[in-house]
Structure 1
Amino acid sequence: MLKPNALKNGDTVGIITPSSPAPVLFKERYRRGLTQLEKMGFKIIEGSCSKEIQAYRSSSIRARAEEINELIYNDDVKAIISTIGGLNSNSLLPYIDYEYLKSSPKVVMGYSDVTALLLGIYAKTGLTTFYGPAIVPSFGEFPEMLPKGKEYFEDIVKLKKRAPFSLEVPLEWTEERLDWNSQIRGKEMSKNEGWITLREGNATGRLIGGNLNTMSGFMGSEFFPILKGAIFFIEDSSKDMAIQERSLSMLKVAGVFDEIAGLIIGKHEHFNDLGSPFSLNELIIEIIGDTNIPILSNVDIGHTFPSHVFPIGIEVNLDATKGTIMFLEDGVYE
């Protein structure tokens, strides 16, 4: 297992746009995100696709892959962070220079569609990657990054908190959606109803996971990690009950629930239950059936804010009986 070094003030962060052209579509928010990173002590190198737009994507498949490789080859770059997600990061998986990244590990971070890159890199190199904030939605929040989001980021990649430690349940959270180009106020926060035990139990394993919808684009390939014994986490955004039944059943028929040691389910941003006479949590239990694994739901990871940073590949303990998640090792080297 490989780990990158912890980030420190003065380090250079490379910015990639592997799918949606958010820097072009949301220029002010993008610039605010870069400024936030600079305030946190980092230098910035913008990737070659940050000013490109081709309808739904920033640039061609090869150009987006080359953007990543250019930053991988740059030994001054200590971290690579995505501007946002999208739908097509899986297109880049065959073209990344995994061998060079193994020889020169860096922090690689993003969420949502960037799941494809994070899991692909982990599968091919064994390098810990980081399911965490992206430039436009997270660092670029108005009027500034949420304090807890900043804290969770620095706890993990700047090593301000050392393992072992249990993750806190944030007191407040939000899924409010405002127009990024006309936003004039901060998002309204709601009281956090807490994490929900769906099935009691205690398990320890490697933390692996990401955005459920994205996984359908590369599951079963050489770029998808082995899940045997893992603490598997999934989250999603703006889906409905029918789509969730399909996606969760994909995991079921692929044998995932028979392999993993435990399951963490993130808060689902803007979920549509389609008027179903059952809840999403009830659907999860219906699909999983009698498989006896601990399951903790409604966890603050993914598209809602603030969200914890999950280092993919570290050993964690999931105690669904107590409703706790403990990181047993750091995601970076000191």
Structure 2
Amino acid sequence: MIRYPFLEEGATIGVTAPSSGVQEELHDWLKLSCSRMKMKGFNVICGETVWTQVKAKSAQAQLRATELNDMIRDDNIDLIIPPWGGELLIEILEYIDFENLKCKWILGYSDISVLLLAITLKTGIATAHGTNLLDLRGEYTDETTAMWQTVLSTNSGESILQHSSLNYQKEWNAAPSPSVFHLTEQTCWKVITNTNVKIQGRLLGGCIDVIRHLIGTPFGDLQYFQHHYINNEPILWYLENCELNTADLRRSLVQLKLAGWFDHCTGLMFGRSDANRPIDNYTVEDVYKELSEELQIPIIFDIDCGHVPPQMTFINGAYAEVEVEDGKGTVKQYFKP
């Protein structure tokens, strides 16, 4: 069965950097993010790793793992939110104390999704794919992103409904603004198989660039998860592409298929992406169409997930009903044990 943490009011957030830390010139962003959380009634404890960044990582792997393990064990810390993603989280997996993980939320995306997926697959503890801490530094937060707190405050056995965003951000702009995101483009969720679709299953996913590297390791045993934690219920995958061109995306999806990750799968959802560069006129829509035909399942794309904000909060392990009608999407997640 799946175990769900619960976010209490006035909880303490532990901020650690299991992937990338924050370089010195951006420390003010981190301080501002922490102050925003305190204004919302949270307590905040920052680890040492968040303040450093050298050679594509916040610190050496064992140091990052030790700080994360300590925060997970600490009864005074209720929720862990890294500052953001990065490149090399996979280095710390062998040092994580999976046998003694306490049931508390870890929230993030990008490279952090390696940690999130590994925890859920190995332990059955639900994890939260959504905003990072640095993106919460604005004076206000859009409705889609802000749902993270409501979602994490859902009781086990209850459900939570999220709606697709009205608009998304076309490009990043670091200029000072009351809101971190500049949502200017109209959101439209799309479906390969037909105009409207309704699918359901246990949610799993993350950034395909990095979670694909869990295949064949002790941290990516999907069959074990299915047998031991969800009674072989169907999987509903959500995936997002950070940097892969279409050929590399296709190779990665075929690898997941050959590894059995799409066995007993009811559908796939793909986030918007600035990557997806065509190779020899081979477009991302071609990739989605081929995969849909091979697996004989619907594929939804351009959803609110990943590096083109805003994004919903998806709970790895939760049972979800996803519906798309006329470009609008709803995701109802049931915190089903």
TM-score (norm 1): 0.87
For the 8 Å contact 1:163–1:327, the answer to whether it is kept is no
Structure 2: runs of 5+ lacking an equivalent: 227-233
> Equivalent residue for 1:139?
136
C-alpha distance in structure 2 between counterparts of 1:78 and 1:109, whole Å? 12
C-alpha distance in structure 2 between counterparts of 1:295 and 1:42, whole Å? 38
Letter in 2 for 1:21: G
> Equivalent residue for 1:305?
309
Q: Flag the 1:190–1:321 CA change in 2: closer, same or farther, 3 A.
A: closer
Q: Flag the 1:331–1:67 CA change in 2: closer, same or farther, 3 A.
A: farther
Residue 275 of structure 1 deviates from its aligned partner by 6.7
Report the more deviating stretch, 110-119 or 231-240: 231-240
> Equivalent residue for 2:172?
177
Note the aligned Cα RMSD (angstroms): 2.5
Residue 110 of structure 1 deviates from its aligned partner by 0.9
Structure 1: runs of 5+ lacking an equivalent: none
Q: Flag the 1:165–1:46 CA change in 2: closer, same or farther, 3 A.
A: closer
For the 8 Å contact 2:22–2:52, the answer to whether it is kept is no
Residue 199 of structure 1 deviates from its aligned partner by 2.2
1:178-216 CA-partner distances (Å, limit 9, x unpaired): 34xxx2345432232311011255442210010000113
> Equivalent residue for 1:112?
110
> Equivalent residue for 1:236?
241
Report the more deviating stretch, 185-194 or 302-311: 185-194
Q: Flag the 1:97–1:255 CA change in 2: closer, same or farther, 3 A.
A: closer
Residue 148 of structure 1 deviates from its aligned partner by 1.7
Residue 272 of structure 1 deviates from its aligned partner by 4.9
C-alpha distance in structure 1 between counterparts of 2:325 and 2:295, whole Å? 16
For the 8 Å contact 2:241–2:276, the answer to whether it is kept is no
How many percent of aligned residue pairs carry the same amino acid? 25
For the 8 Å contact 2:164–2:329, the answer to whether it is kept is no
Task: Determine if the alignment matches structure 1 residue 53 to structure 2 residue 53.
Answer: yes
> Equivalent residue for 1:221?
217
> Equivalent residue for 1:41?
41
- SS in structure 2 opposite 1:66? helix
Q: Flag the 1:74–1:61 CA change in 2: closer, same or farther, 3 A.
A: same
C-alpha distance in structure 2 between counterparts of 1:167 and 1:159, whole Å? 13
1:42-94 CA-partner distances (Å, limit 9, x unpaired): 10111231223322111011000001011011101110111111111111111
1:4-41 CA-partner distances (Å, limit 9, x unpaired): 44223321110110112225352121112111211221
C-alpha distance in structure 2 between counterparts of 1:318 and 1:116, whole Å? 23
Q: Flag the 1:25–1:224 CA change in 2: closer, same or farther, 3 A.
A: farther
Alignment counterpart, residue 257 of structure 1, candidates 259, 262, 270:
262
Alignment counterpart, residue 157 of structure 1, candidates 152, 155, 166:
152
C-alpha distance in structure 2 between counterparts of 1:331 and 1:133, whole Å? 23
For the 8 Å contact 1:165–1:328, the answer to whether it is kept is yes
- SS in structure 2 opposite 1:216? helix
Q: Flag the 1:43–1:111 CA change in 2: closer, same or farther, 3 A.
A: same
1:126-161 CA-partner distances (Å, limit 9, x unpaired): 00000011112x113xx435232453112201339x
Task: Determine if the alignment matches structure 1 residue 210 to structure 2 residue 206.
Answer: yes
> Equivalent residue for 1:86?
86
Alignment counterpart, residue 190 of structure 1, candidates 184, 190, 214:
184
C-alpha distance in structure 1 between counterparts of 2:216 and 2:140, whole Å? 36
Letter in 2 for 1:12: T
Q: Flag the 1:330–1:151 CA change in 2: closer, same or farther, 3 A.
A: farther
1:229-265 CA-partner distances (Å, limit 9, x unpaired): 2001100224322322222222233233343121111
Q: How many residues align?
A: 322
Residue 288 of structure 1 deviates from its aligned partner by 4.5
Alignment counterpart, residue 283 of structure 1, candidates 284, 287, 292:
287
- SS in structure 1 opposite 2:15? strand
- SS in structure 1 opposite 2:51? coil
C-alpha distance in structure 1 between counterparts of 2:261 and 2:52, whole Å? 38
For the 8 Å contact 1:252–1:287, the answer to whether it is kept is no
C-alpha distance in structure 1 between counterparts of 2:84 and 2:184, whole Å? 24
For the 8 Å contact 1:72–1:100, the answer to whether it is kept is no
C-alpha distance in structure 2 between counterparts of 1:51 and 1:331, whole Å? 38
> Equivalent residue for 2:30?
30
- SS in structure 2 opposite 1:57? coil
For the 8 Å contact 1:156–1:331, the answer to whether it is kept is no
For the 8 Å contact 2:170–2:185, the answer to whether it is kept is no
TM-score (norm 2): 0.86
C-alpha distance in structure 1 between counterparts of 2:199 and 2:176, whole Å? 45
> Equivalent residue for 1:66?
66
For the 8 Å contact 2:4–2:335, the answer to whether it is kept is no
Residue 116 of structure 1 deviates from its aligned partner by 1.1
For the 8 Å contact 2:2–2:317, the answer to whether it is kept is no
